[in-house]
Chain A
């Protein structure tokens, strides 16, 4: 329900109440006025008759009875409503009646009933009420229409602001430049939003700078540590004590791990801050073939049987660095969780990238495999950021990523949907595997 409908609904509710109240008030008001008028006319007639009686100008009762309803027996006095049959129209008609005693000289008291039909009054009431109500209805309808038209016009700046907000992209590093519409509230809103977006851009910039600086400042000491440790390993004195060199080597290895962890974390934060704006066409098939060739020694070390099925050129719009990272992490994951002599199959089409590997059954909720610092094996030296990076990159480019397991938990598949809705993969696509020596 939009704001316009909501306000119109309340308008109509109010209008209905006013309508009903107004109609009732009008009806009873006019009714009361007419009855009073009829009553006054009857009273006037009574005054007139009484005055004539006092002046002894009245004709005898017999003559009078032709004109008036006269009774010699007492009747209840005062005003009352009664219904009489109208002979000309042959229907019952409501009348107002006034009964009073009258003394005609020489004939004793008689009771006179004066009557006046209320039909004219009712007709009048109907006409006036109908007229008033139709004016009221016209007024209300007009108000609703006017309101809708005005609202559509008045809310135009708001809609413009909303469209601008929807299209707003922090990556462009430009604050919102919303105009100042004539309506004060919208001008204020736009002003507030402009200020807000300026702060946002400034904050984003400083965050970006912070990340970049932090990465730089951490990387440099790490580089120094690594270089100095490597130099330390060259010192001839190390050879004299066989226990020392492995210590330095362990230190060196730990520095490398720290450095990799730092790289992975700064990559994750950069993706989260959406700092990889410049997407370009990447030949995923070529990159994949390159990566497979590069990791061949690892496959060999694990005696894996591996295969790659990507006959078509696959072009994806993404940052080349992220494409590299995505494939590297997927393949490394497939090697890391593999078993000696196991299998690794990679399938790539325009629609999806699928990496299947054999490996021991894993416990736990598959959805949690993508969490940061999630380790399959607690003793592993890997920090467990690989799949998290995969998920972040996929999320960044709107690719779907899913894990599935088959064959009693020993065949694991990670599927990256590059184009949702594109032609599906034949489920049992056989990929010929090459055995390493």
Chain B
């Protein structure tokens, strides 16, 4: 999976690149409009992460150029400007999704995963992780061939974990993913705990034991081993 990251802030670019590489993507970065334009003209990417405010141009123009070429590349807009107009303009131009800075890297992974999944038309419509098989089209989860029934929130939670295998997910990131943005951190994280407990129990019943690890004081992690 090839991903292009267009972001002018060096420090943020480094962190995002590292995170994307950890998630198993072939990630490249462009620091400005010119670089980004050159890259999208020369190479084919599965997904582009696009900052709208660049020092030498607008990310919206890049999006226009990309879509004018009929590219099937997925586009995720990342912007600090929470101006509604920019987001709407971006989505109107054919962007798949948007994220407002600052965001959780795990949330970014989940969004990128979803975009790529939506854009893959030939097969591959399944997620396999150890003994787990998830069919997103049918919203079905199988453990060693056995179907398990999950509530909507549990299913969302599992997909979120599967988008970030081996990664420590903070409880704040999970809470925001399940409840939308602006969930006050002061509110209890009990509900994540409840959902995770139920999910774990259901996986465990079918023999998928110890998949979700608790990182004390931090959050949770979907473990590879």
Q: Is the CB of B185 within 8 A of A252?
A: no
The answer to whether A224 and B191 touch across the interface, beta carbons within 8 angstroms, is: no
| Interface membership of B187, Cβ < 8 A | yes
Whether A297 contacts B167 by the Cβ 8 Å rule is: no
Do B182 and A301 have beta carbons less than 8 Å apart?
no
Query: How far is A351 from B102 in the complex, measured between Cα atoms in Å?
Result: 37
**A220: contacting residue among B12, B106, B218, CB under 8 A:** B12
> A381 with B186: in contact, given A220-B101, A231-B105 (CB under 8 Å)?
yes
A320 to B178, CA, bound (A): 22
Select B172's contact among A215, A252, A295, beta carbons within 8 Å. Answer: A252
**CB of B80 closer than 8 Å to a CB of A:** yes
Q: Which of B102, B168, B180, B215 contacts A223 (CB 8 A)?
A: B102
Counting CB contacts under 8 A, is A382 at the interface?
A: yes
A380 at the interface (CB under 8 A from B): yes
Do B185 and A216 have beta carbons less than 8 Å apart?
no
Interface membership of B147, Cβ < 8 A: no
Query: B126 to nearest A CB, angstroms?
Result: 26
What 1/0 mask marks residues of chain B from 174 to 202 whose CB sits below 8 Å from any chain A CB?
A: 00001110111111101110110000000
Is A233's CB within 8 Å of the partner chain B? yes
Would you call the interface of chain A mostly helix, strand, loop, or mixed?
helix
Q: How far is the CA of A255 from the CA of B102 in the complex (A)?
A: 10
Chain B: residues with Cβ within 8 Å of the partner, total of: 46
Q: Is the CB of A246 within 8 A of B217?
A: yes
In the assembled complex, B104 has its CB within 8 A of some CB on chain A: yes
- Cβ of A129 < 8 Å from any Cβ of B? no
Once the chains bind, are A234 and B167 in contact (CB under 8 Å)?
A: yes
Distance in Å: Cβ of A226 to nearest Cβ of chain B: 4
> Is B217 a contact partner of A245 (Cβ separation < 8 A)?
yes
Contact of B81 among A216, A248, A295 (CB under 8 A): A216
Q: Per-residue 0/1 for A301-324: is the Cβ within 8 Å of any B Cβ (1 yes, 0 no)?
A: 110000000000000000111000
The answer for the CA separation of A257 and B187 in the assembled complex, in Å, is 12
Min Cβ gap A335→B in Å is 7
**Contact yes or no, B19 A230, CB < 8 A:** yes
- B167 touching A246, Cβ below 8 Å: no
B153 within 8 Å of A (CB atoms): yes
B219 contacts the other chain (CB 8 A): yes
Q: List chain B residues, Cβ under 8 A from A295.
A: 179-180
Are B11 and A245 closer than 8 Å at their CB atoms?
Answer: no
Q: Which residues of B contact A233 (CB under 8 A)?
A: 168, 170, 218-219
The proximity string for A residues 232-275 relative to B, scoring 1 for CB distances below 8 Å and 0 otherwise, is 01100000001001101110110111011001000000000000
The residue on A at minimum CB distance from B78 is A223
In the bound complex, how far is the Cα of B18 from the Cα of A260, in angstroms?
Answer: 25
Contact A224 B187 (CB under 8 A): no
State which of A219, A246, A300, A380 has its C-beta within 8 Å of the C-beta of B218: A246
Cβ of B15 and Cβ of A224 under 8 Å apart? Answer: yes
- Which one, A219, A226, A336, contacts B187 given CB within 8 A? A336
The docked-state distance in angstroms from the alpha carbon of A228 to that of B102 is: 11
B84 CB-CB contact with A under 8 Å: yes
* A230/B170 in contact, CB under 8 A: yes
A-B contact pairs, 5 of them (CB 8 A): A220-B80, A222-B102, A227-B19, A263-B182, A328-B182
For the complex of A and B, 3 pairs with smallest distance between CB atoms: A246-B217, A301-B191, A381-B186
Residues of A that sit less than 8 Å from B by CB:
212, 215-216, 219-220, 222-228, 230-231, 233-234, 242, 245-246, 248-250, 252-253, 255-257, 259-260, 263, 278, 294-295, 297-298, 300-302, 319-321, 328, 332, 335-336, 380-382
